Amino acid sequence: MNGSGGTAYGAAGRPPSRPAGPPRAPGRSPLSLAEVLRLPVLAAGAPEVVSGHGQLSRPVRWVHITELLDPASFLKGGELVLTTGMPLPEDPALVRRYVEELADVGAAGLVIELVRRYHRPPSELVRACLARDFPLVLLSRTVNFVEVTQVLHSLIVGSQVESLRRAQDVHDTFTALTLRGAGPDEVVGMAAELSGHPVVLENLVHQAVLCGPPGRGVEGTLTAWERRSRATPSPDRTGLSGPEDWLVTAVEYRGERWGRLLMLPDAAGDPAIGPEDAMVLERTATALTIARLTHHTRWERRAQRTLLLDLVEQRCRSRGEARARAEALGMPVAGRRLLVVLVSPGPGAGETTAGETTELEDRLTDELAAAGAGVLVGAVPGDHIGVLLALPAATPWRPLVERLSRSVRESRPGAMISVGSEVSDLSQTARSFQQAARVADAAVPGTRDKPFHELSDIGLRQLLYALRGDVRLQEFVERQLGRLVDYDERHGTDLLTVLHTFLDAAGNKTVAARRANLSRQAFYQRLRSLERVLGCDLESGEQRTQLHVALTAFHLLRLPRGPAPP
């Protein structure tokens, strides 16, 4: 039997070279011809495929037993035709027409039992099937065709019922998401969960806005995304496309196409080919259209915020994942220098609306991108707007940050701009952010000598201002100066001012007296009063240093509160 060059299906019901694998879940998609041949009821006949080896994935929608010369007139497509071969004509022309009619009507394949009339496959039948690449299966042992139809029809009908139930479950799931106002990330994540395949939402310029499910597979899904996406054309309707067999459907907004949903092969490399996969993807597109009507923030903006927050909070599972997600959003990072810039509200700034924040984020993105920088912009912890710059090696960052500062202060005059250190990898973004946040927290209100602040700007005043919320600093100030403040309040004196003048003159009594518009004798008398109230020796350099730090902190603690530390 194997001399005909066919593929033998053994008693186990599968080709020797292909593992059986797990059974197909009911309702996923119609049984394929290969799966039907692995069923025990047909495997008992030792099936051998002699033609149409590349067509074994054809769906079998029904089984038809016939001994007619023109069975195609009773078929609609997708049927597996079973015959004993008794009616097959001897005329080669009639045999060719028999096969051509089956192929033209879209039959799933022809199964012929070599027991009664034939004991070897008719050569003309084999040639005709090979010419049309039409599946021809030979059975060398007797098989009860009625039992075959009973088993297959039960499976097919059960699968159809299960598909209907599954379709209702999918409909109910997405309806519930829509009614409770679920965001696009949750909708896409649900599509991935229901299908078992990665699902990506992209815009018209092939930027991956959302990817589900989150996890270790994100890196493989999004690596070289734009190149792979551009190689995948959009079909007229939901269907497989491109060299990787992506399932593609369009996403519309207000009657215009906005982007695409793409379902990729799963972790095992199996593409999404079942009708249920297409149903899930189309239902996801509908839910996203409704979500876009109710969630006014642009999804590209949401995607940038999410990625920036994940980088800052170190939630990316690997460097590769971070890089793949950034590049899928159109931000090149290979060979670039990275820098975090924070835009913080100034002291006393009123509450900023979500619309104003989004408007500023969009303007900064456009301006910096036009200057040649890769950029991610989004809200980050600490009431800041974070900007991650990816700069080419030869591009200095200071002119860009100065440009950013001017743009921000046009709309937010009191805003402060702080900068972290340069880093070379996305995994180090959190460090640059932490540094920029420390700079922002240390920026003393009223400082306007620079368009932005950086680590080198943090001196004593800035350090003490950053520590203003620390109870230990507050206790230190109170221990050093509390008695003096109380004394001035009770006696109406200005010894605190005298102390400030003395320390500011670096302990030079003559200079201090002149600055205080007092005679040296009067100033010396006040210094003695200071020493008596504070219980200290102002000639001691160490004690003067302690008082100077305490007095600096005392004044800083009374400044308007700046941005809260993250």
Residue 270 has what pLDDT? 82
Please tell me the distance from the alpha carbon of residue 155 to that of residue 62, in angstroms, as a whole number. 10
Strand arrangement, sheet containing 208-212:
208-212, 199-203, 256-263, 246-253, 239-241
Question: How much is the pTM?
Answer: 0.63
- The β-bridge relationship of strands 136-139 and 47-51 is antiparallel
Residue 230 has what pLDDT? 95
Amino acid at site 464: L
Say which residues have a Cβ less than 8 Å from residue 126's Cβ, sequence separation at least 6: 4, 50, 51, 136
End-to-end CA distance of the chain: 76
Instruction: Name the DSSP class of 59.
Output: B
Q: Which residues in the chain land under pLDDT 70?
A: 1-29, 158-162, 296, 346-352, 446-449, 560-566
Using one digit for the tens of pLDDT, what is the confidence trace for 12-34? 333 333 333 333 333 346 788 88
Say which residues have a Cβ less than 8 Å from residue 412's Cβ, sequence separation at least 6: 343, 345, 346, 349, 352, 360
Per-residue tokens: 405:
């500062």
Strand arrangement, sheet containing 62-65:
7-8, 47-51, 136-139, 109-113, 79-83, 62-65
Identify whether the C-beta of residue 217 lies closer than 8 Å to the C-beta of residue 198.
yes
Using one digit for the tens of pLDDT, what is the confidence trace for 517-530? 888 888 888 888 98
Cβ atoms < 10 Å from Cβ of 31: 23
